Amino acid sequence: MRLSIVTKSASLFIIHNKYLKTLFCVFLSALLQSFCINVFITPSKLLSSGFTGLAILINKISSLFGFTIPVSLLVLILNIPLGVLCFRSIGKKFVFFSILQVILLSIFLNFHYTLLFDDLLLNVCFGGFLYGIAISLALRGN
């Protein structure tokens, strides 16, 4: 009887640590992704991949017509409906952490960072490398 209690508490500890690791990876990924967008991608007039790049593109197109829609709002508008559609088919945990990452990214995109380079090639190299690390962090955290 005592062994089953110990085994049950150990498995709860492992599950708890797994969720903390996932939460940490999601937080760090969103922070690094927003840093790359604000420091390397946007100042160089580049686009990132996925819905984030589409949000940047819509922001640039809307600015041509005299108004701007914030990238952080567009990221939410594009990603949240997709998360709701995937809720049943992919899984609740994955969708929860994905939507959390999108919300954190939207919040972190409003932070202001200091530009590091004026050179386009350096921005492409560093931005692409760090953005790839941010995406792999999110995937690594499950």
Q: Which amino acid is at 74?
A: L
Q: In angstroms, rounded to a whole number, what is the distance separating the alpha carbons of residues 30 and 15?
A: 23
> pLDDT at residue 93 above 70?
yes
Polymer length in residues for the chain: 142
Q: In angstroms, rounded to a whole number, what is the distance separating the alpha carbons of residues 53 and 48?
A: 4
> pLDDT at residue 103 above 70?
yes
**135's tokens:** 């995406």
Find the domain containing 76 and state its range. 2-140
Q: In angstroms, rounded to a whole number, what is the distance separating the alpha carbons of residues 106 and 73?
A: 7
Q: Nearest 5°: phi and psi at 51?
A: -65, -25
Q: In angstroms, rounded to a whole number, what is the distance separating the alpha carbons of residues 131 and 129?
A: 6
Residues 105-141: tens digit of each pLDDT = 999 999 888 888 788 888 888 888 998 999 888 888 7
Residues 46-88: tens digit of each pLDDT = 888 888 899 999 999 999 998 889 999 999 999 888 888 887 7
The number of domains in the chain is: 1
- Whole-number pLDDT of residue 88: 76
